[in-house]
Structure 1
Amino acid sequence: MLLDISEIPRVALERMNKVHEEEIKILNRLYDSIQKYERGQGSLEEIDKNFKDFLEDVTAHFSSEQQMMEEFNFFAFPMHKGEHDIVLGQLENLKKRWEKDKDPSLVKAYIESEFLPWLMNHIQTMDTVTAHFLSHFIRD
């Protein structure tokens, strides 16, 4: 396991918290499948499936946040979306490298050193402000 769900920062909008929790569950499955493979117990096919699930989840996560921000004219939408776009670009590059090389160590390194630290910071900063703003319009 990469991260326990209890370690995710909470924001003012419960639906965003639930999305973050689900993302960590999917991320943990991907990470665990890589660790199993490293121990000689897993397969590249399992990693591939979990990686695709992770990519789909991140895309849906960002899209749903962006729809809410647009709907309620969130003042920092361009900046928040810009952070999402950077990560989506990184993930697209990682996906291309994965498809070419099938090297789990590349995916693991990105998750550990790039994505997870970014996500935790993004939740504590951008998502906290966004959720506070949206909580004035959306009731969970």
Structure 2
Amino acid sequence: MLLDVSQIPKVALERMNKVHEEEIKLLNQLFESIDKGKEIEEIDDLFKAFVEDVKKHFSSEQEMMEQFNFFAYPMHRGEHDMILGQLANLEKNWEKNKNPKLIKAYIENEFLPWLMNHIQTMDTVTAHFLSHFVRD
């Protein structure tokens, strides 16, 4: 296991916490599949599911931020766009090389550290702001 869901920082909106938990569960499945040397097809399916999950995660946050005119929306969106760009590059590389080590390295060294920091900073502020408008 890469990360226990209990280690994810909590924010003021429970719906965001649930999205983060589901994303970590999926990330753990992908990581374990790679770590245990599972078939490329399984890794491919999990990787695609992870990328789609991240896109939905970011999209739902961005919709709420836009709807309630969150003051730091451009900065928060910029972080999402950066990660989506990285994932797009990783997807291209994956389709070309099917090298699970590249996905594993990205998850461990880039995505997970970024996500933990992003939750503790951007998502914490965003959730606090949105909690004044959104009911869980």
Q: Same fold (TM over 0.5)?
A: yes
Corresponding residue for 1:28? 28
Corresponding residue for 1:65? 61
Q: Which runs of 4+ in 1 moved over 2 A?
A: none
Q: Distance in 2 between matches of 1:138 and 1:32?
A: 35
Corresponding residue for 1:105? 101
- 3-state SS of 1:113 partner: helix
One-letter amino acid matched to 2:92: K
Corresponding residue for 1:127? 123
For normalisation by structure 2, the TM-score amounts to 0.99
Q: How does 1:81-100 map to 2 (within 5 A)?
A: 81-100=77-96
One-letter amino acid matched to 1:48: D
Q: Distance in 1 between matches of 2:105 and 2:36?
A: 15
- 3-state SS of 2:36 partner: helix
Q: Which runs of 5 or more structure 1 residues have no equivalent in the other structure?
A: none
Q: Distance in 1 between matches of 2:35 and 2:46?
A: 13
Deviation at residue 101 of structure 1 after TM alignment: 0.2
Q: Which runs of 5 or more structure 2 residues have no equivalent in the other structure?
A: none
Identity of aligned residues (%): 76
Deviation at residue 35 of structure 1 after TM alignment: 0.7
Q: Deviations over 1:38-72 (max 9, x none)?
A: xxxx1000000000000000000000000000000
For normalisation by structure 1, the TM-score amounts to 0.97
Q: How many residues align?
A: 136
Q: Distance in 1 between matches of 2:135 and 2:90?
A: 37
